[in-house]
Amino acid sequence: MNIHLKIKSFVFLIFISIFCIHQSLAIENWTDGPILQKIMTYQEVRAAFERRGMRESQIDKLIKDSTFGESNLGFLYPRFTTTSDYDRKLMIAENGDRKVIMIGIARALLEVEEKPVTQESVRARIPDAIKYFCTLREKHVPKGTWLQDPDGNWLMKK
């Protein structure tokens, strides 16, 4: 292997390492760092958090009763084929607000990284936003909550 190829390989490895370290730091610190501060400046996200707060006790009861679980996409998901119309409406409202929050997280990631914010760039960061949101939810929900792993399997939080 010639020296130029070795140098190129070394520079590439350093670049990948820096990128991965940056991404892991962003994942670990978003809930108490600049991402949270940024999303709370978005009016639509604050409104979504307020609406979620108004229905939180009802949602928590339905999660505790295993009516709903936390999907690997960050949304509530019915655990049974039959749920009441009222419970379905709560789930739809909750999932709508979660979507607003996850879009806000994706937008904030771009702004904090000083990257252009476009519909396409926000859409591209949605997987990261989902991961962040799911990590936060997993920490927040009580033991006994049904959680869907990345492979789609349902497991009860212990």
Closest CA to 38 of 107, 98, 92, 93: 107
pLDDT of 34: 85
- 71 falls in which pLDDT band (50, 70, 90)? very high
> Is residue 9 a contact partner of residue 79, using CB atoms and an 8 Å limit?
no
Region of 114 (left: φ > 0; alpha: ψ -120 to 50; beta: rest) is: left
Segment 129-154 mean pLDDT: 90
3 state SS for 12-54: HHHHHHHHHHHHHHHHHHHHHCHHHHHHCCCHHHHHHHHHHHH
Beta strands 154-156; 76-78: pairing state: unpaired
Segment 133-154 mean pLDDT: 90
Task: Answer with the residue of higher pLDDT: 57 or 18.
Answer: 57
List the structure tokens of 156.
């009860």
Mean residue pLDDT of the chain comes to: 83
pLDDT of 141: 87
pLDDT of 137: 87
- 60 falls in which pLDDT band (50, 70, 90)? very high
- 124 falls in which pLDDT band (50, 70, 90)? very high
Does the pLDDT at position 153 exceed 90? Answer: yes
Degrees, nearest 5: CA angle 80-58-148: 45
- 31 falls in which pLDDT band (50, 70, 90)? low
Sort 83 into a burial class: Cβ within 10 Å, 0-12 / 13-18 / 19+: middle
List the structure tokens of 116.
């252009």
> Is residue 148 a contact partner of residue 154, using CB atoms and an 8 Å limit?
yes
